[in-house]
Amino acid sequence: MSERRVQRLLDSTPADEQAEARAWEIVRTAYAQREPRRRPRRRLRLVLAFAAVAALAAAAFSPPGRAVVNAVRRSIGIEHAQPALFRLPTGGRVLVAGDGGAWVVAADGSKRRLGDYAQASWSPHGLYVVAASTNELAAVTPAGAVHWTLSRPKIRFPRWGGTRTDTRIAYLTTSRLHVVGGDGAGDAAAAGVAAAPVAPVWQPTSADRHVLAYVTARGRVTVLDSDRGSVRWISPAYTGPRVLAWSPDGKQLALATRTKVVLFDARTGHTTAVRIAGVRALAFAPDGRLALLNDREVVLRSGTRSRTLFVPPGGRLDGLAWSPDGRWLLTELPAADEWVFLQTRGGRRILAVSHIAAQFGAFPTLSGWAK
């Protein structure tokens, strides 16, 4: 067969224009954010940064200045953002919490405020919410009815796990890990050592057992059977632990530190390191794909393959939540006062919603997206 014919055949392979447009958007924003080759001197940079912050702060307190701030937000936000959250791009309910309280957003965009809780998370099947203010832990329904409360000092990171019939809630007080029954009974310190400020996570399970992972103050990941009070394994110490997450089948545990992501085999504790630095949020999709967020981008990892899903036009991203059907990923762009929905299956749409702070009383933290 002639080489020219092979050449003609290969050349006839169509290029996908939509793929080109999507890729150019990501490349363009990455280029706009790259570090310039010549940087101003450190001292000058500090002065400029201070001046910029001062100018923005001054601007924010005057009505004409508010327009300037809004213009800045527009410049770093996503173009064509919806002015309000009219509906979610797919089914389920999004839970958020912050200075404006805890809220549940339904698929049709309607919002219900659960109370003055700065932190919250879903129960394993989305039937309840565990919410916390500084000194109170509460189990509430998504409609806002309070089932029980528990007063403890300086509560952080409440997380609910277990089966449909037998659940546990883990949380941290100042530096101690506690576990309480889903009915609010039997609250007890679950570990003898101090915990790092990282949210504890329950291993997903269909069996009647309650296994929990947390990070000790010395940076060691510990997997604990909370019913027996026995430790399954303890990892070596990691510097700068930030976030833990279980894979949906409970076979893998991911830890993000300042410099890398470590994937643990749930049974043995054996590790695989992923070289991606600065990860501040990670979340497994229902089908096992892992989304990672650092200062620069959102990365989607499937098996050993990673791809950049989104590079914001400016500002820092915060938080990740997968839709229950695994098709959409929600992240936040606080500097632009926006939520960003990223489609990961069946297309590559990016939908942004602005004026988030006004809709929730303050810019909230994403706490989960349940069925």
Partner 1 sequence: MRPEPRGELDRREHAWVRDAQRGSAPALEQLFRHHWPRAYRAALLVVGDAAAAEDIAQEAFLAAVRALDRFDRRRPFGPWLHRIVVNRAIDWGRARTLRRELGEADAPEPAAPEREPAEYAPRLATALAGLGPEHRAVIVLRYLLEYTPGEIAELLDLPRGTVNSRLRRGLDRLEAVLREEPE
Which amino acid, residue 192? G
Q: Does 32 bind partner 1 (CB under 8 A)?
A: yes
Of 328-347, which residues contact partner 1 (CB under 8 A)? 345-346
Minimum Å gap between C-beta 9 and partner 1 is 5
Query: Shortest CA distance to 67 belongs to which of 59, 79, 76?
Result: 59
Residue 37 has φ and ψ, to the nearest 5°, of: -65, -45
Cα separation of the two ends of the chain: 57
Task: Choose, by CB under 8 A, the member of 10, 143, 185, 207 that binds partner 1.
Answer: 10
Q: Does 192 bind partner 1 (CB under 8 A)?
A: no
Instruction: Name the one range near partner 1 by CB under 8 A: 8-16, 118-126, 127-135, 236-244.
Output: 8-16
Q: Does 277 bind partner 1 (CB under 8 A)?
A: no
Q: Does 2 bind partner 1 (CB under 8 A)?
A: yes
Minimum Å gap between C-beta 5 and partner 1 is 6
For residues 36 to 55, the per-residue mask of contacts with partner 1, x marking binding by CB under 8 A and - elsewhere, is xx------------------
Which amino acid, residue 10? L
Minimum Å gap between C-beta 345 and partner 1 is 4
Q: Which is nearer to partner 1, 3 or 108 (CB)?
A: 3
DSSP sequence for 187-214: -EE--SS-B-SS--EEPP-SSS--EEEE
Minimum Å gap between C-beta 261 and partner 1 is 18
Phi/psi region, residue 219 (left: phi>0; alpha: psi -120 to 50; beta: rest), is: left
CA distances from 204 to 164, 179, 210 (A): 12, 16, 9
Minimum Å gap between C-beta 326 and partner 1 is 3
> Beta 111-115 vs 102-105: how paired, if at all?
antiparallel
Q: Does 164 bind partner 1 (CB under 8 A)?
A: no
Distance, in Å, from the CA atom of 114 to the CA atom of 4, rounded to the nearest integer, reads 69
Of 311-330, which residues contact partner 1 (CB under 8 A)? 325-327
Residue 299 has φ and ψ, to the nearest 5°, of: -115, 140
Task: Choose, by CB under 8 A, the member of 148, 249, 278, 316 that binds partner 1.
Answer: 249
Q: Which is nearer to partner 1, 219 or 326 (CB)?
A: 326
Q: Which is nearer to partner 1, 9 or 67 (CB)?
A: 9
Looking from the CA of 205 toward its CB, the CA atoms found within 13 Å total: 19
DSSP code of 69? Answer: H
Residues ≥6 apart with Cβ < 8 Å to 155: 119, 132, 133, 134, 135, 136, 137, 171, 172, 173
The residue count for the chain: 371
Size of the site for partner 1 (CB under 8 A): 44
Minimum Å gap between C-beta 371 and partner 1 is 12
Per CB under 8 A, residues contacting partner 1 are 1-3, 5-7, 9-16, 19-20, 22-24, 26-28, 30-32, 34, 36-37, 249, 285-288, 303-308, 325-327, 345-346
